[in-house]
Chains A and B, each alone.
Chain A
Amino acid sequence: MITLGIDAGTKATKAVLTNHTGTLASVVLPCGRESTVTIADLARRDVLAKAGLSPESVTNIGVTGLYGDRVSFATNTFPEGVCLAKAMGYMKPSVHSVLDVGSVRALAIKCQDGRLTSISVNDRCASGTGAFVEVLASFFRVPIAELGNVALTAKEPVDFLNTCAVYVESEALSLMVEGKTAENIIAGALRGFSSRILSLLMSIGVEPDIAMVGGLANNKALVKNIEESLGLSLFIPEEPQTALAFGAALLAQGKE
């Protein structure tokens, strides 16, 4: 049975096609001003084209994500934490704790055998979500995908005092006036950020193996900070951004 999983997030819509062998194709489409259902439909077409399949070949469409309920053509809707647990159960069953840092919310879960056992969410304060990193990247005019690499070149990361995402700019500016380099400021800011998102994970108890998903899992500096704090390696799937969509597709396999 071929199923489609769609994760309708704030910054991007992710679509994954699966069958009994696993993933057939996946896409990540950045969101703009169009409606959720428009971009979800685009993602569906793109991923089908990528797999060389027709829309009729899809049996079920599972949807998740912050705007999942607006994807009217879905057959099933699943909560994010449940999708994440399912995806981990398939990809790496030894994982029991997962961090998912999105643009406007961060999620930490505990899971066992593909089932969600515990969950903690931060959607109140931007300083613990991707929004903080976006502000940082925008200030220094560095593409988000490059930010981690820039941070890794830093020799003396600064002590970044402010936690508020709004104050990032003024603090970064003051530090630059003091003569600190961009990479040292970025590295310092990311270090503070990593401890904030780690505390979300700690709030429900850390149980190895630990995984990280979401776009920020591609940020090598962030991952390095977290691994150093934990004293453990993180499992990061090949495509960390599509993990939730993958989970939704898997869950849709089990639906008639």
Chain B
Amino acid sequence: MSVYAGIDIGSRTSKGLILDDQNNTQWLIIDTEPAIEATARKLLAKVLEKAHLTQSDITHTVATGYGRVVVSFADSVTEITCHAKGAVFFDPAVRSLLDVGGQDSKAIRCNETGKVLAFALNEKCAAGTGRYLERIAETIGLPVDQIGPLSLQCTQPVTISSVCAVFAENEIISFLRDGKPLADILAGACQATVRRQLTLLRRVGAGTEGKLMFCGGVAKNIGVVKLLEKEMGVTVSIAPEPQIVGAMGAALIARDRARAGQKGQQVATTR
């Protein structure tokens, strides 16, 4: 029994995925704790338990995400590489992707094997990231997963002029005081999020060829998805679980490396 493990340590959540030679998977998402190595070990233990496997069944492990270098028991591969690999696995027609996570966002263009051709990253500023929407949800007093569905009920989206997540909060408090409908405020927030992403997407020439995949936690926000589709003029591709695309790519790379190790040569990702 050979399985391969991919771990994606994000700022908010950590994703673990186990893959076998027949492309069966088992995965889990947990909150990232400040002690990163401990989070990675806990994550792996839990997903092994879910798969009814043990540590010794794992042939090779790859870690990615901002905490990857701290994970001593795995190879470290960049998120950019892993996300591209994972994206074309889930949808072979994908040639560009947008990943919006808890604290950063990235736009990537790739070829049919998932090889990265161009990428752009924002990790300095919370504007347009999951944290931006989280703060807005906190300010309004709603669970984050309600932002999307509620925003679709808007009649007239407000315009949030602040790019900054902190100042946007002040604007939203003003809107709430002025009695603006929640749906309109949330639609404004989703709009502001998409505006930030468009800059990144343009920079890499995303959406010009093949399909565009949207991944990361924010891809679960239907309001943001619909606005992105409207702005890009395309239907976006979304994986069954958008948050695990990176971990999927990491597991695929782990499998490639294990097979290359056995055969003594480079092997492209096979299905």
Give the interface of A toward B (CB within 8 A): 10, 33, 104, 123-126, 131, 135, 162-167, 170, 173-174, 176-177
Contact = CB atoms under 8 A, between A and B. Distances in A.
Given A164-B126, A176-B34, A170 B103 contact: yes
A163 B124 contact: yes
Given A123-B167, A126-B165, A176-B34, 13 more contacts: A33-B177, A104-B170, A124-B163, A124-B167, A125-B164, A126-B164, A131-B166, A164-B125, A166-B103, A166-B131, A167-B103, A167-B131, A177-B35
Nearest to B177: A33
Nearest to B102: A170
A20 B34 CA distance: 59
Contacts of A173: 34
Contact of B126 (A104, A123, A124, A166): A166
A170 B166 contact: no
Given A104-B170, A173-B34, A167 B164 contact: no
A124 B164 contact: yes
With a 10 A CB-CB cut-off, give which of A33, A173, A174 has the most chain B CB atoms. A174
A174 B34 contact: yes
A187 to B, nearest CB: 20
Given A173-B34, A177-B34, A126 B166 contact: yes
Interface string B133-164: 00100000000000000000000000000111
B11 interface: yes
Interface string B157-185: 00000111111001000000100000000
17 contacts: A33-B177, A104-B170, A123-B167, A124-B167, A125-B125, A125-B164, A126-B165, A135-B166, A163-B124, A164-B125, A165-B165, A166-B126, A166-B131, A166-B135, A167-B103, A167-B126, A167-B131
A77 to B, nearest CB: 20
Given A164-B126, A174-B34, A177-B35, A126 B167 contact: yes
A22 B62 CA distance: 70
How many chain B residues sit at the interface, stated as a range, is 10 to 19
B99 to A, nearest CB: 18
A184 B162 CA distance: 32
Contacts of B124: 162-164
Contacts, number: 44
The 7 closest A-B pairs by CB, nearest first: A166-B126, A126-B166, A177-B34, A131-B166, A166-B165, A165-B166, A126-B164
Nearest to A131: B166
A220 B233 CA distance: 54
Contacts of A163: 124
Contacts of B165: 126, 165-166
Contacts of B132: 166
A246 to B, nearest CB: 26
Interface string B202-227: 00000000000000000000000000
Contacts of B131: 166-167
Contact of B167 (A131, A135, A176): A131
Contacts of A176: 34
A144 to B, nearest CB: 15
B217 to A, nearest CB: 15
Interface in B89-132: 103, 124-126, 131-132
Contacts of B11: 170
A48 B146 CA distance: 49
A238 B238 CA distance: 59
Contacts of A124: 162-164, 167
